[in-house]
A and B are shown apart, each in its own frame.
Chain A
Amino acid sequence: MAETKTDNKMTVVALVENEPGVLNRIASMFRRRAFNIDSLTVGRTHRPHISRMTIRVVAGPEYAMKIATNLQKLVNVIDVRVLDNEPHIERDLALIKVRNDDADSRNTITEICDRYPARIVDVGPEVAIIEMVGTETILEAFIEEVKPTGIVEMIRTGVVSMGRGTRIHDTNFINRRALVEAASKARSGNGRLV
């Protein structure tokens, strides 16, 4: 599904059933349809059987809609929303290991960290680890500043997003097995599980 790409990134949020193989299904669909993904994060929600994904794509709104409709087609995907049409919060987290073996670099790093929402979470004689949380843009600006001191290792979680206000992206669905068991219990009347 090649399409003219633009530079802006779109954010798609999906609620999925927390079942084995779901991530594989989603990754397989992206590969099969040749969708280009910038980042994909997945984590649990307050409902143990539901996970939530944030998918960032470098694309225009039409492309994001194609991704959304194809995601929605997967049986294990409960709900999908393209977040860019509404105000939302986004956060990306990075752990960055930097050189820390002389006074100059130690000072520079402390000074940069002071100006950003960043913390030094581990310090050793040669290297230190910085934890930085923020929007993707701020994170990238921070990384650019730290680069000259010498990044030796880095990991980013990828962006997670949530819409602002009261338009809640959630579901009351209780998991399938429980539903069927409840129905069967009611039917057999003996409380025995299926």
Chain B
Amino acid sequence: MRLKGSEIIMECLLKEGVHVMFGYPGGAILPTYDAMAKYDDRLHHVLVRHEQGASHMADGYARATGEVGVCIATSGPGATNLVTGLATAMMDSSPIVAITGQVPIPAIGSDAFQETDVTGVTLPVTKHNYLVTDVRDLAYTIKEAFYIARTGRPGPVLVDVPKDVQIAETEFIYPETDIVLPGYHPPSTAREHEVEGALRLIAEAERPIILAGHGIMMSGAMGEVRELAERAQIPATLTLLGKGALPEEHPLVIGMMGMHGEACSNHAIQEADLLIALGMRFDDRVTGNLKTYAVNARKIHIDIDRSEINKNVKADVGIAGDLKTVLNQLLPKLERKSHPEWIGRIRDWQEDSSERDILNYETPGKLLTAQVINDIWRITGGDAITVTDVGQHQMLEAQYYPHQRPATLLTSGGLGTMGFGFPAAIGAKFGKPDEEIWAIVGDGGFQMTLCEMATAVQENANVNIAIINNNFLGMVRQWQELFFEKRYQATPMVNPDFCKLADAYGIPNRLVTQREQVEDAVEYARSIDGPTLIEFVVEKEEMVYPMVPAGADLHDMKRRPKPGEA
């Protein structure tokens, strides 16, 4: 079958099982857009309002489904607008394939109109990228791109296709053979001595703790991790992206760790004699000061990326492998154990925390973010997919919306990308059309990508937007309060009337200023099939506790005082 390059792109996407792509047309990608018409019934194109939105939507789609998300942009500014989304996906190991137009091959290097060295620009923020210079290479390059994006430690892959390659014709043969890449062999099984080593450390431990990361869900090892925890009675704490890896109502799951993690988790890590780190990478937001981090603990670290082992924290047993495979090697030989004393200590820390819980405070006349998020959790039965932006509301979501299922909290963890939440929620809706989706965003981050309201309306994407509006860049303000003597430089925000803005886009909306209005507004949003917006006007100067100041020891947390202590 003789096809144009542009048609080959479409055929390849279909072969890879793609149903939806997020993009924005332009000169250098026009031939590909022209080819789309022929495939419209099988491949839905979502027209975004800014290419950053396209990359976040592809990312949200990928996080919600575990499948590769696809975004498309033109050369030059179109492609550079994808960069933030690529970097976000790279940090959080999210599989996306970006296809960009490029100026025709003879014009490359001539500073042609809308020319940018896109493979050069995106090199450090992609797992791999390609510039296709011959239409005969196109099919297997796209197949390779999908393979690299979804295997091993997933990540974004970009394919840059010059305009003349999109126009050129060739015989289309999709390579049916497996991809063979000489330098790409993601590790899978553990060696026997590594398994023995891990088993020995677990058997010897008196105060073990599991650090459960994002990799658990990407490997599909939720059942294995749960069995490990239950059989050896090991408490488990979650990273931000690890939320959902284990049901948070499980008695052995003790909540999030790190800078704004549960105090009990951080204390437990510091006092443990064994850390079992599963599919996580000891980010600085998780460890605090590395010199004083879990000094009494031996460490088992299992991750699919060999370069993560010993990167930040030295492992006593480091295993580069697929978590599910490795745990299945380990579990048959795992002895039953119990640690009642250790778990009792953790319960004491938990009790202390619940006394400090802001939900137990009398707050007459004020609407607090924690209340809003906890109410959304209660009303949605804790079963919605929540997609957050970055900042105080993100941390409070992690604290006050317990997740029971994998891939139900989508959030930019590694890069901390403001503007991620709302477009990622739209992408998630396309991946999980039957699920209830809530974009929980701050007033700052929402304004970075609010143009995608038009996309949501055009596609009638049923996404509920909850704006937590404190008229401040809240998390930055919190740092200014704590570390910069309350000099609120460039954090107060004069915001638009979000409800009027929603009106202008044709989005049904509600304004909530009192606790009593929350339930009605949330139910209203749930009742509408299409995008809705609720603006929650919350207390201006809230604090997220506990807080480990950047670089401080993990146990050195700033805590909310108990009632009557303040």
Contact = CB atoms under 8 A, between A and B. Distances in A.
A24 interface: yes
Given A74-B183, A173-B182, A183 B136 contact: no
B307 A183 contact: no
Interface stretch (B66-74, B168-176, B406-414): B168-176
Contacts of A28: 123-124
B184 A24 contact: no
Given A17-B182, A25-B123, A73 B173 contact: no
Interface string B304-318: 011101110000000
B175 A77 contact: no
B301 to A, nearest CB: 13
B524 interface: no
B325 interface: no
**Contact-residue size bin, chain B (C-beta under 8 Å from the other chain):** 20 to 34
Interface in A169-194: 171, 173, 176-177, 179-180, 183-184, 187-188, 192-194
Contact of A179 (B124, B171, B180, B311): B180
Interface string B116-140: 0001100110011001000011011
A24 B131 CA distance: 14
Contacts of A192: 171
A131 interface: no
A75 interface: yes
Interface in B175-231: 175-177, 180-184
Contacts, number: 71
A147 to B, nearest CB: 40
Nearest to A25: B123
A159 interface: no
Given A24-B123, A193-B136, A194-B171, A180 B177 contact: yes
A75 B148 contact: yes
A1 B311 contact: yes
Contacts of B136: 193-194
Contacts of A25: 123
Nearest to A173: B182
Contacts of B311: 1, 66
Interface string A69-87: 1101111111100000000
B139 A183 contact: no
A93 interface: no
B183 A176 contact: no
Contacts of B123: 24-25, 28
A78 B566 CA distance: 61
Contacts of A65: 310
A75 B128 contact: yes
A10 to B, nearest CB: 16
A72 to B, nearest CB: 7
Q: Which of A69, A75, A188 has the most CB of B within 10 A?
A: A75
Contact of A180 (B140, B183, B310): B140
Interface in A78-102: 78-79
Contacts of A75: 127-128, 148, 181, 183-184
Contacts of A21: 119, 131
B176 A183 contact: yes
A66 B307 contact: yes
A32 interface: yes
A130 interface: no
A171 B305 contact: no
A150 to B, nearest CB: 42
Interface string B144-180: 0000100000000000000000000011010111001
Contact of B183 (A78, A177, A179): A78
Contacts of B176: 183, 187
Interface string A138-177: 0000000000000000000000000000000001010011
B183 A76 contact: yes
Interface string A15-31: 01100110011001100
A103 B181 CA distance: 60
Closest 9 CB pairs of A and B: A173-B182, A69-B307, A78-B183, A183-B177, A75-B128, A78-B182, A180-B140, A69-B306, A184-B173
17 contacts: A28-B124, A65-B310, A66-B311, A69-B306, A69-B309, A70-B307, A72-B306, A76-B183, A79-B183, A171-B182, A177-B137, A179-B177, A180-B140, A192-B171, A193-B136, A194-B139, A194-B140
Given A176-B181, A176-B182, 15 more contacts: A17-B183, A24-B120, A25-B123, A28-B124, A62-B310, A65-B310, A73-B305, A73-B307, A74-B183, A78-B182, A78-B183, A180-B177, A183-B176, A188-B173, A194-B140
